[in-house]
Structure 1
Amino acid sequence: MSTVAALPDSRVAPAVDDAALTVVPTRHPWRWVIAGIALVLVAQFAHGLITNPGWDWSTFAQYITAASVLAALKVTIELTFWGTLLGFFLGIWLAIGRLSDNPVLQAISWSYVWLFRSIPLIVQLLFWFNIAYLYRTLSVGIPFGPEFYRFDVNGVLSGFTAAVIGLALHQAAYSAEIIRAGIISVDQGQWEAAKALGLPWRRQFFGVIAPQAMRGILPNAANEVISLFKGTSIVSTMAIAELFYQVQVIFGRNGRVVPLLMVATVWYIVLTTVLNIAQYYIERHFAKGSVR
């Protein structure tokens, strides 16, 4: 019969108190080197902004709050507001058509999204700006039947209205896909649970599905609104006095290109920052209950 000899005490590892251990942090010298280089580059850029006379900050200060610039900024905000409102309103119905079981609605919605995402925005804007070339008059009445009212297109469709129509129709194609993606991202079990509770369809959608879909919709929707806000500068090709067009008019007169471009840049940054702040609070509202 064999026996196993016990290990001598000298080979048993002594207990070590964790508090007595010395913790040595990992050294990252290259982090400090890269951070130092980045700070030097930022300092050089800031120094150039302050000392380079080409920036012409006196002209910038003269026009940043000029009445003509503020009026043009108001036009830019109005274009963004109406383009976003009408674009997402139409986008909701297009998304519903894409998700419906009706093949006709599916085909029409898909074709709309395909067409308006394929055509550049500037082409759409110029088309609507020149729509009177195709249709000098429009009428309201029974399709293929008698008309009740006829009006002149040039008298009704101004440049601003044509820009809003072009921006809204373009925005609708993208917002439809954003809304559709948000809805289909909700787990199918949520629909089944809402139906099992016997809730009406309206309460199923607005009480259960829509709040969850908004978490996926909001980030992309906010990006689209910001893109639309900056994209309003394209309507300068239609001689509409929005922010970028007005800045071009001013530096076309005085030749101060750089400071006037900085005027437009600063206002775009300011309003984009406001939109980012609004996005943060709206997302935080719809995130209630989803994160701890």
Structure 2
Amino acid sequence: MDFVDNVLKVFPQLLGAVPVVIVLALGAMALALVLGLIVALARLSNFRVIRGIAIFFVEIIRGTPLLVQLVYIFFVLPVIGIQIDPIPAGILGLGLNYAAYLSEVFRSSILSVEHGQTEAAWSLGYTPTKTLWRIVIPQSFVVSLAPIGNYFIAMVKDTALTSVIAVTEILKTANILNSQTFQTTAIYTAAAILYLIISFPLSRIVDSLERKARTRG
């Protein structure tokens, strides 16, 4: 019972860090969605230079750990005069990392749209740009909803990595509490439960999106 009591005692303090997690996750996902779509379109470009830059970005981001990217943004960029506060640095690091992965989701979903619909739009007088934004992207976005949801859940959990750049989110708060009370098991158990409480409803929503996507398919 003492263990349960200790877990319950630290919960209110850990809950105070949840808004930081929400800001990190929503800010980073917004950045990842916009940048991921831009990179996906660049990957599909007919211009070799643009396509090459996009491929280079994806390979660099996917080929290095997220933790290293966060550390680089927060600790290395100030050496060249670029100082970023912890939360914006966390949003930037998470956003850039997930943009690389979401770009592949967007690219594959765009390619999954039947080319016949594009040709039909052209026959109706649509320009290629108008066809892309009015016909192709809306349909591809529906296909990509479930993968986007899965990446968002992963991002929520990856916000824990921002503790290494002084962001006071759930894990950082747990570390501080542990240094003060030394109730290691209770504190980190409470942190794990809190992450589960946040991610479980999100996973149910994603499952629902996947079922709807299969039904549409």
Same fold (TM over 0.5): yes
How many angstroms apart in 2 are the aligned matches of 1:132 and 1:175? 25
| Partner residue in 2 for 1:183 | 110
TM-align CA RMSD: 2.3
Q: Which residue of 2 aligns with 1:134?
A: 79
TM-score by length of 2: 0.89
The 2-side partners of 1:266 and 1:203 are apart by 47
- 2:198 aligned partner: 271
Runs of 4+ displaced beyond 6 Å: 284-288
Confirm or deny that 1:258 pairs with 2:185. Answer: yes
Q: Are the aligned partners of 2:160 and 2:171 in contact in 1 as well (CA < 8 Å)?
A: yes
Tell me the TM-score normalised to structure 1 length. Answer: 0.67
Q: Does 1:219 align with 2:166?
A: no
The answer for the alignment partner of 1:81 in structure 2 is 26
Q: What is the aligned partner in structure 2 of residue 59 from structure 1?
A: 6
Q: Matched residue pairs, number? A: 217
Q: Give the number of the structure whose residues are more often helix, by fraction.
A: 2
Partner Cα separation in structure 2 for residue 284 and residue 195 of structure 1: 32
Relative contact order: is structure 1 or structure 2 higher (C-alpha 8 Å, sep ≥ 6)?
2
Change (3 A) 1:283 1:203: farther
Q: Aligned-pair distance for 1:205?
A: 3.0
Distance 1:133 1:204, change over 3 A: closer
Q: Aligned in 2, Cα 1:264/1:206: closer, same or farther, shift over 3 Å?
A: same
2:99 corresponds to which of 150, 156, 172: 172
Structure 1: segments with no counterpart, 5+ residues: 1-52, 137-152
Give secondary structure in 2 for the equivalent of 1:130: helix
Q: How does 1:33-72 map to 2 (within 5 A)?
A: 56-64=3-11, 66=12, 68-72=13-17
Q: Percent identity?
A: 26
Partner of 1:100 in structure 2? 45
Between 163-172 and 88-97, report the one with greater CA deviation: 163-172
- Of structures 1 and 2, the larger Rg is shown by 1
Amino acid at match of 1:61: L
Gaps of 5+ in 2: none
